[in-house]
Structure 1
Amino acid sequence: MRDRIDDEITFRKLEVLLAFMQTGSLAKAAEALNVSTVSVHRALHSLEQGVRCALFRHEGRNLRSTDAAQMLADVAQEVITLMSDGIRATREAAGYSSDRLKIGSLYSLTIRTVPGIVVDIKVRRPALQVELVLGPNAELIEKLKQGAIDAALMALPDAEPEIESIPLFEDDIFFAAPANSPYANLEAVDLRDCRDETFVSLGEGFATYHGFQEAFRVAEFTPNVTMRVGDIFSLMNLVSGGVGYTLLPGRVRDVFGDKVQLIALKPPYRMRQTIGVSFLRARERDPNLLALMAVCRLRTRNEG
């Protein structure tokens, strides 16, 4: 069984030893480490206590290293290098500061928001490979918690202690109808006038689906939903083809040109989505996520 390493021997003290051995003086080592000379002296004396042998000798006011100190410094350099490499490998295995960033996103954000963010982050970190994972809000939150993605661009989730979110922008929800619909020329739609209409919607787990449910709860009737789909572009296709009406966020307004009209809802049913970037609090110091956050904050300021 190996001898137990004394608690007085730490990585920080070994770094102090290396600084002293490289500079040759307490003052220069202190300057290199941005600490006081007294702190350097105490660290070196503490190492002597930890290894239980003399590492230095005094020559007047100067402190000189012994062969034992040089031996410990050589080993310390190997240990610190190995541990640094090990920490880097560990972080990369967990997705921290690797050369790949997995960003989850709502389908609707791929129109403008996602391309802009990807371009900006590539400018900051050209070697970074960005992978996009699309899905509904509920699915993206689960992937985030499981570590399957590094960050998610989505409607801000309910507050959770393990998730940090940065708001990007707010988006109004509209009544969506085909261009030739009787509702197309209205300034605003009263959902209570739509009791007899046919609707289509996204499935559960989508942020827009929850807004859809809430709007009809306020209107005090259950809509006749004939079809549910798994992405917002398929939903818009159904609306443009006259299969049914729905509610859509304003960010998709220009996708189908004049084929789908987005009409304001009357005040009782008006609602907004807050779109942002979410990530695990435990990873908030990951360099790749710091770059992503910086890009998102800059875009928010520029577009605000």
Structure 2
Amino acid sequence: MDERVDDDITFRRLEILLAFMETGNLARAAERLGTSAVTVHRALHALETGTRCALFRNEGRNLHPTEAAQALAEVAREVLRTMAEGIRATREVAGYSADRIRIGSLYSLTSRTVPAVVTGMKIRKPELQTELVLGSNADLLQKLRDGGIDAALMAVPDAASDVESEPLFVDDIFFAAPVGSRYADLAEVDLAACANERFVSLSEGFVTYGGFLESFRVAGFSPDVVMKTDDIFSLMNLVGGGVGFTLLPGRVRGVMPQQVQLIALQPKYLMRQTIALNFLRSRERDPNLLALLAVCRMARAGLS
């Protein structure tokens, strides 16, 4: 079994040892490290305790390193270099301050929000490679927690104390119908009057699906959903093709097929989504995420 390293031998004390060996003086070593000469002296004494041998000899008021101290210093340089490289590699695997950033996004945000954010990142950190991962709110939240993405442009998740969210804009949900439908001339749709209609929807896990269900709960009936899809653009095409009605967020207005119309819901059915930049609190000091956060704050006014 390998011999256990004594608790008195720490990375910080090895750093102090190297500073002392390079400066040859307690005061100069303390100045380099931003600490006191007393702290340096105590650290050197602790290393002697941990190695169980004399590392220095006293000559008057000065400390002089022994051959044992020289040997420990050589090992310390290698240990600290290896550990620094290991930490760098670990951070890269975790995506922390790597040369790329993986941004998750809802499909519905790819028309305005994603281009604004990606363009802003290219200007702010041109050396950083950006990867885009699309999915539902549930998919993106899981990828965020699993380390598959670094941040997610999606709705603020419920009861996620491990996630930090920076709101970008608030979006209303509308009734979506084919152009020329019986609802085309209405200023507002009473969802309760649509109990006999056919509907299409996104699959479970998408934030719009949650608002879809909540609106019909308020209306007092379960909709007749004839088809589900995992793609909001396919969903709009299904509406345009007359397969069924649905509820859509206002942010898709600019990319809707010409044959689809958005109509306001009566206020009692209105559901809102807060779209935000989301990332794990444990990574809130990651330089790449801080840059992304700054970009999103600058883009917020244009996205609202």
TM-score (norm 1): 0.91
Q: Indicate the SS of the match to 2:84.
A: helix
Query: Deviation at 1:89?
Result: 1.7
1:234-256 deviation per Cα after TM superposition (whole angstroms, max 9, x unaligned)? 11112223332211111111113
> For 2:34 and 2:219, how far apart are their aligned partners in 1?
66
List gaps (5 residues or longer) in structure 1. none
Q: Distance in 1 between matches of 2:63 and 2:295?
A: 50
Aligned match of 2:134:
134
Sort the Cα spacing of 1:302 and 1:199 in 2 relative to 1 into closer, same or farther, 3 A. closer
Aligned partner of 1:22 in structure 2 is: 22
Q: Please name the residue that 2:237 is paired with.
A: 237
- Would you say 1:272 and 2:272 are equivalent positions? yes
3-state SS of the aligned residue for 2:254?
coil
Distance 1:182 1:195 in 2: 14
**Which has the larger displacement, 208-217 or 114-123?**
114-123
1:23-45, Cα deviation, whole Å (9 max, x unpaired): 23222222221112221121112
Number of residue pairs aligned between Structure 1 and Structure 2: 304
Q: Is 1:106 aligned to residue 106 of structure 2?
A: yes
CA distance in 2, matches of 1:4, 1:219: 68
Structure-2 separation of matches of 1:297 and 1:24: 50
The sequence identity of aligned pairs, in percent, is: 66
Question: 1:54 maps to what in 2?
Answer: 54
- How has the CA–CA distance of structure 1 residues 297 and 64 changed in structure 2, closer, same or farther, with 3 Å as cutoff? farther
Structure 1 residues 116 and 303: CA distance shift in structure 2, 3 A:
closer
Do 2:112 and 2:303's aligned partners in 1 also have CA atoms closer than 8 Å?
A: no
Q: Which is further off, 5-14 or 181-190?
A: 181-190
Amino acid at match of 1:238: L
1:88 corresponds in structure 2 to 88
Counterpart contact for 2:237–2:257, Cα < 8 Å = no
TM-score, reference length from structure 2: 0.91
Q: Deviations over 1:195-225 (max 9, x none)?
A: 3333221111111011111111111122232
Measured after TM superposition, the shift of residue 194 of structure 1 is 2.1
| Structure 1 match to 2:13 | 13
Which segments of 5 or more consecutive residues in structure 2 lack a partner in the other structure? none
Most deviating of 28-37 and 71-80? 28-37
Shift of 1:60: 3.6
User: Given the superposition, is the C-alpha separation of residues 267 and 2 from structure 1 closer, same or farther in structure 2, using an over 3 Å criterion?
Assistant: closer
Listed as ranges, the matches of 1:158-237 within 5 Å are 158-237=158-237
Alignment match, 2:248: 248
Matched AA of 2:256: F
CA RMSD of aligned residues (A): 2.2
User: Aligned partner of 2:14: which letter?
Assistant: L
What is the distance in 2 between the residues matched to 1:239 and 1:283?
41
Q: State the 1:183 CA deviation.
A: 2.4
The Cα shift of 1:13 comes to 0.3
Amino acid at match of 1:19: A
C-alpha displacement of 1:169: 1.8
For 1:34 and 1:263, locate their aligned partners in 2 and report how far apart those are by CA, in whole Å. 65
